[in-house]
Amino acid sequence: MSFKYFILGLLTQRPMTGYDIKRLLQRLDWLIGSPSFGSVYPTLHALLKDGLVSLNVDQNNDRPARKVYSITMAGRRALQEWLDRPVEPGASLKEFLMRLMLAGNLSHHGLVTYLQQRRSEVAAHRATLEKVTNSKEKTALGRKLAFDYGLAAAKAELAWLDRTLEQLS
Amino acid sequence: MSFKYFILGLLTQRPMTGYDIKRLLQRLDWLIGSPSFGSVYPTLHALLKDGLVSLNVDQNNDRPARKVYSITMAGRRALQEWLDRPVEPGASLKEFLMRLMLAGNLSHHGLVTYLQQRRSEVAAHRATLEKVTNSKEKTALGRKLAFDYGLAAAKAELAWLDRTLEQLS
DNA sequence: CCCGCCATGTAACACGTTACATGATTTT
DNA sequence: AAAATCATGTAACGTGTTACATGGCGGG
């Protein structure tokens, strides 16, 4: 599960209810994609069962009993372990962005390393696309367009990475 | 299933075996993501059962009996219907690229419309990101980085779309 | 001779969605 | 008064992965 750790990571910022998390995720829909309630609640149950989050119920006055989840020490350890695990090559953009959004839990050095890792992967991908694009095989229109898109996207991402890495130093 | 139609679309270019499809998809891994064999073969079985593809077996001389799938008339109709169905708003980049790669099955007008649709969605997304980025709330580092990335990506995509749309006219 | 590629397939599992069920509070 | 938002949850289903099972052919 990849949302599991992302949700855990969001809880480092502040304790939240399932509904809070879903609302937050909703705004990241385009960037990362947001899981449905049918996914969020069971994920929180699983985290709780594993002792990575703790629960306290707000039953002050409002009826629906807000269930506020907080990350535990064990949770922080598990999250750190996840963040430290090198991303497997070929990870998706979505995964890159999930971890990036949790950059607050990384050291400066860790973040820089992470971005450099990504850089080398994108550079490799770019090289592959350039090879394909430059070879003068007869290519179908759709293929040509998609590859051209991919190349443009890779260039833009490399530019962003370079800019960001520079700002960080 | 979204790979179902994509695979069907790939068969408009030439008849292929499951292995061929997987090999082709592998090279699109970064761009689109490639399903495993455990997904490709059952998908072909389903397409066959629905009459969208036909099968003929190559049992000439080599042992493993290559199973070559071709798209049928019903398959072409189903594909066309899928391509004509407007993409629901908020579709992922992956879906955009899948359809883009099947541009060969679209009319010139259809392709232009498709790209313009995408353009308006990305533009909306860009506007949202710009609003968030410009608001001077205290934002966590990761959030800031991810949003900044998203904005750069959106700008790059808009530039590509404009360039491509111009070339197409 | 072993390794990697060609070639097909199945079963168990993981992850997430959709649809349903329930009900209070706030906004239009 | 109706609609949207807050708030939680479950069950069935869809889609895809991982791991397994099988086996021939070609090159180092």
Instruction: Check whether residue A45 has its CB closer than 7 Å to nucleic acid strand D.
Output: yes
A-chain CB neighbours of B31 within 8 Å are 146-147, 150
> Which pLDDT does position A122 carry in this prediction?
95
> What phi and psi values does residue A168 have, to the nearest 5 degrees?
-80, -10
A88 φ/ψ angles, rounded to the nearest 5 degrees:
-70, 145
Number of other CB atoms surrounding residue A84 within 10 Å? 9
Tell me whether A123 touches chain B (CB under 8 Å).
Answer: no
**Residue A3 pLDDT:** 95
Give CA angle at A6 (A57, B89), nearest 5°.
105
A42 Cβ contact partners less than 8 Å away, ≥ 6 residues apart = none
Closest alpha carbon to A20 in A79, A73, A70: A70
Tell me the HSE value of B37 on the side-chain side, using a 13 A CA sphere.
4
pLDDT at A88: 76
What pLDDT is recorded for position A60?
65
Which whole number is the average pLDDT over B42-48? 97
Neighbours of B132 (CB within 10 A): 16
pLDDT of residue B3: 95
Residue of A143, A162, A163, A165 to mutate when probing chain B, most B C-beta within 10 A: A143
Q: Is B91 helix (H, G, I), strand (E, B) or coil?
A: coil
Residue with tokens 């860009």: B126
The 10s digit of each residue's pLDDT in B77-131 is 999 999 998 787 777 899 999 999 999 999 999 999 999 999 999 999 999 999 9
Q: What is the pLDDT of residue B74?
A: 97
Q: Is the pLDDT of residue B62 over 70?
A: no
Query: Which nucleotide lies closest to A19 by the C1' atom and the CA atom?
Result: D7
Distance in angstroms (rounded) separating the CA atoms of residues A1 and B83 = 32
Q: Tell me if residue B66 falls in helix, strand or coil.
A: strand
Question: pLDDT per position in chain A (169 positions), as tens?
Answer: 689 999 999 999 999 999 999 999 999 999 999 999 999 999 999 999 999 999 999 876 656 689 999 999 999 999 999 998 878 777 789 999 999 999 999 999 999 999 999 999 999 999 999 998 887 777 899 999 999 999 999 999 999 999 999 999 8
Q: In the prediction, which pLDDT does A63 show? A: 65
**In the structure, how far is the CA atom of residue A41 from the C1' atom of nucleotide C21, in angstroms?**
15
Q: Taking a C-beta distance cutoff of 8 angstroms, is the pair B7, B44 a contact?
A: yes
Position A34 scores a pLDDT of 93
Q: What pTM was estimated for this model as a whole?
A: 0.92
d(CA B5, CA B71): 11
- Predicted confidence at residue B60, as pLDDT, reads 66
Distance A98 CA to C4 C1' (A): 36
Query: What pLDDT shows up at residue A15?
Result: 96
Q: Copy the structure tokens of residue B151.
A: 């904005």
Find where tokens 């070879």 sit.
A135
Give dist(CA B126, CA B152) in Å, integer. 9
Specify the nucleotide whose C1' lies closest to residue B21 (CA): C7
